[in-house]
Amino acid sequence: MKKILLLGVCLITMCTVGCTKNKDVISKMKDNINNMTSYHVKGDLEIVNNEDIYRYEVDVSYKEPELFRVGLKNINNNHIQILLKNNDGVYVITHQSLQQKII
């Protein structure tokens, strides 16, 4: 019985210490996020529309105060679309305009 009680106390102590450390990590993470001036994120996006499934590779870059670039690449047909906001304005660059620049 003493062993079970000791084991219970150890488990409670480990959980308490672990949770305290997680709160510190989460707090530091929130501070870092709030102080960021830029970021770059890559990911996959899946859109389900009735029985159709669209898959995209997404590439997002942001820089303060309001500059960003969002790249979307359709995995099925390799069509690319870029949304760009820079100091000159907001632009949407499509697959067709990208092909014209290459030719």
Q: Are both 17 and 4 inside the same structural domain?
A: yes
Domain around 91: 36-103
Clarify whether residues 11 and 40 are in a common domain: no
Residue closest to 37 by CA, chosen among 14, 57, 10, 66: 66
Number of domains observed in the structure of the chain: 2
Q: What is the pTM of this model?
A: 0.61
Note the pLDDT tens digit of each residue in 10-61: 556 555 555 555 677 778 877 877 788 888 889 999 999 999 999 999 999 9
Co-location of 46 and 76 in the same domain: yes
Task: Say whether both 11 and 31 belong to one domain.
Answer: yes
Return the number of other C-beta atoms located less than 10 Å from residue 56's C-beta. 19
Residue partners of 96: CB distance under 8 A and separation at least 6: none
